[in-house]
Homo-oligomer: A and B are copies of this chain.
Amino acid sequence: MSTPSSLQNLIDALRVLPGVGPKSASRMAYHLLQRDQPGANDLAHALMHALGTLRHCRDCNTFTEAEVCEICADERRTREQLCVVEMPTDLLMVEQTLAYHGLYFVLMGRLSPLDGIGTQDIAFARLLERASDGVVQEVILSTNFTVEGEATAHYLAEMLRARGLQVSRIARGLPVGGELEHVDPGTLAQALVERRKL
């Protein structure tokens, strides 16, 4: 007895999802076929529709259905500041702070030599071109504080400074409400090094 080919194809196809191995893929396929065929149909159409309509914003590289995304098209935003983030979700997180009114650039990734992701695979050239438009004064590097995010920020800082742009990095330190007793030593050390004059 072998699994019917269209079922096996579906199981194999589900493995493109991140974190989904053979067991999960099989469980997902049976769940969809047995308990939620309308949901499976919606998923297929949502995939086709997203693939057909989504593209990258001409200016900031995030996903959008228009040529230019809502933020880049918003004339009330400060055009002298450019916040560089790794992913569209990071952009949404910064927006939720309501503390930033400039523009963005979404790298759609990070330098990660171990995964074979080098400077050619990230939109670095487009960022350099975007930042050199003569209007942008400051580039705020908001990549993650992971090894890859830090390496990306370091690399970008060198390239951008070489073009005469002011480059900054979001601050590391204790979180709001954070207690010294519960913070990891690395974060506390950074908070000491990057202490502010009062």
Contact = CB atoms under 8 A, between A and B. Distances in A.
Interface of A: 1-7, 9-10, 12-14, 16-19, 24, 26-34, 36-37, 39-54, 63-65, 69-71, 87-89, 91-92, 95, 108-109
B31 A13 contact: no
Counting every copy of the chain, the complex holds 2
B30 A87 contact: yes
Contacts of A52: 6
B49 A9 contact: yes
B37 A43 contact: no
Contacts of A46: 6, 9-10, 12-14
A41 B51 CA distance: 8
Contacts of A18: 27-28, 31
Contact of A108 (B19, B34, B89, B108): B34
A40 B44 contact: no
Contacts of A12: 46
Contact of A51 (B30, B37, B53, B69): B37
A92 B41 CA distance: 26
Contacts of A16: 32, 36, 39-40, 42-43
A47 B51 contact: no
Nearest to A87: B30
